[in-house]
Every structure is written in C-alpha cells, then in structure tokens.
Amino acid sequence: MKKALRYLGIGFVSLIALFILALFVLMVRGSSVISEAPPVSHSGPDALQDSMLVARGQILVQTTSGCQRCHGQNLAGQQMGEPDAFGLFVASNLTAGLGGVGSILDDAGWEKAIRHGIGADGRVLVGMPSEYFHAYSDEDLAALIAYLKQLPPVDNELPKTQPGWLAKVFLGVGLYTPPAVALDPEAPHAAATPDHGSLDYGSYLVSVAACSECHGAQLKGPEFEGPPPGPDLTRTGNLGAWMESDFIHAIRTGSTPDERILDPNMMPWPYFSQMNDSQLSAIWSYLSSLE
C-alpha cells in the first residue's frame, strides 16, 4: 500500500513539474512573439503637412478609426484597466509631449504602427487593430499620419504595456496572434481610396472601421459565444426590414427603428455618427448587397 502511494505521489509531482515546465515554455514563446516583430519596409507616401490632408486625417481619426476610444480624447494615451493575470495594457501617448511617440516617429514609423502593429521600439503592439487599419489606402494613411504629426503636445508619461503570464500563454499556444505576426508585411496596398458613394467605398469603410471585430467576418454576427454581441448586419438580420433612412438615423442618434438604444460602449456609434451622408449611404449600399 505504501509503495503504491509512493508511486502515486511521484507520478503526481511529475505531472505538476511537467505542467510548470510547459507553462514556462509557453510563456517564453509568448514573450518572443511580442519582442520579435517581423521586419517591414515603408511603402506608403510621405504625409505632407497640407491643410486639406490634415483635415481629412482628422475626420478619419475621429470617425472610422475611433482612435480616441483607446488613446483618450486628446490622444495623449491612457492605461486600459487595472493589471491582472493578462497584464497591464496601455494605449500610447500619440502626441509629441513628454512620454509621447509623436516626437520620435517619422512617416515610416507611423506606418509601421498603424498598418503593421509594430511600435517605435520594434515591439509588437498588442491590442493595436492593425488587421483592420492594414486596409487603409496610401492616400488615407498619409492623411491619418499628417493629422497625428500636428497634434498639440501633451505631457503624459505612461508605463509600457506588460502582458501578464496568462496573455503570454495565450500568445505561446497560438490562441491569439497579433496583427504584426499574422499580417503579410509585403501585402500590396491600395494607392487610392475607392470612389466615394460607391459600393466598393462602403466595403472599404466597413473594413477599416473594424465592423467584423464584433459582427463576424461575414457580418452575420459573432462566431463565438459571449460579448461583444454584434448582430447580423446582412439582410437576414434586423437590417433586412430597415430603410436607408433608418440606418442613418440609428448611426446618427443611437436609436433603432424598433426603439432600442445602442450601447456606445459596445457599438461606437458616437464616432460613426460623424461620418457624412455619402459615407453612411455607401456603407448601407454595401450592407444591403450582402447575401
């Protein structure tokens, strides 16, 4: 009996040791995913400080990109919640003030951050939605960068993002692959934005606005259980009974035809509401075309 218990104890301790070793290996692998960003080359146009380009960039930042959602209303960055097992996540100060990346990024650096999810220090930007911003045309990317380069400096020194052990395990096992790793760095980019008001323009806006993040790759609702509960945006969903005017009213006011109020924390309609009628009409045309 004692011999059997001894073997059971040895087996149990061995399993614990193997588990700890596997956890350690996954954490090391996850850390390497973050620290070893793939090389990318600058392929976008220079963001000249033209007033019209800056104005266009401001609209993109405040509407389709919704940069303030993470980086704060003045884009001076903020800590995203309290540290936990997943770690500490911080949205950078984008201005040229103390602690800001605006003082060290050139056009190529901005492109790497926005389009590829790679920071000024060469590290992977965990949480940066570059899988959507990657679709920005060279024309719009230049406008975005032009606007960001002229932001008023705000002093706000923040700690760096520090993924915790659980986030590293997720990265190590491949449950989450950052855009910097998942994207093809040599993938071609559209030089020009599709014609405004066209179906292609609606598809483009849906892509860069990250609609599929909540509504699923086919926009038929999330492909997983739990929040965020993005509803079906195709004709088989609620939008099948809507008119274009209903859609525009819902985005402008957050109120749907069936008198539901959209939660701005889940559906960022206050940002999208600043789009012009041509943009919202193009999005509606594209959504209406989906089977």
Q: Is the dihedral of CA 52, 57, 62, 63 positive or negative?
A: positive
User: Which pLDDT score is estimated for 51?
Assistant: 85
Is 13 domain-assigned? no
Q: DSSP strand E in 135-221: where?
A: 162-163
- Per-residue pLDDT tens, the chain, 291 aa: give them: 666 656 566 665 666 766 666 555 656 666 666 777 777 776 666 667 788 899 999 999 999 999 999 999 999 999 987 878 878 889 999 999 999 999 999 999 999 999 999 988 888 888 899 999 999 999 999 999 999 999 999 999 999 888 877 877 777 777 777 887 888 877 877 878 888 878 899 999 999 999 988 888 888 877 665 555 678 888 888 888 899 999 999 999 999 998 889 999 889 999 999 999 999 999 999 999 987
**Could you give the number of structural domains in the chain?**
2
Question: In sequence order, what are the beta bridge partners of 124?
Answer: 118
Secondary element (H or E) of residue 6: helix 2-35
Cα–Cα distance measured from residue 156 to residue 283, given in angstroms and rounded to the nearest whole number: 37
Residues 130 and 163 in one domain: yes
- What does the pLDDT read at residue 28? 63
- Pick the closest to residue 124 from 218, 47, 30, 217 (CA basis): 30
**Residue 19 belongs to some domain of the structure:** no
> How far are the Cα atoms of 44, 139, 169, 184, 234 from residue 48, in angstroms, in the given order?
12, 11, 42, 27, 39
Query: Do the beta carbons of residue 220 and residue 234 sit within 8 Å?
Result: yes
Residues 217 and 174 occupy one common structural domain = no
Residues 71 and 177 in one domain: yes
Tokens for 290?
């989906």
Same domain (yes/no): 159, 57 = yes
Q: Please choose, from the candidates 42, 208, 182, 181, the residue with its C-alpha nearest in 3D space to the C-alpha of residue 124.
A: 181
pLDDT number for residue 50:
81
- Structural domain boundaries, residue 207: 199-289
Q: Under 8 Å CB-to-CB from 145, ≥6 apart: which residues?
A: 44, 47, 57, 107, 110, 111, 114
Does a structural domain hold residue 21? no
Residue 12 lies in a domain: no
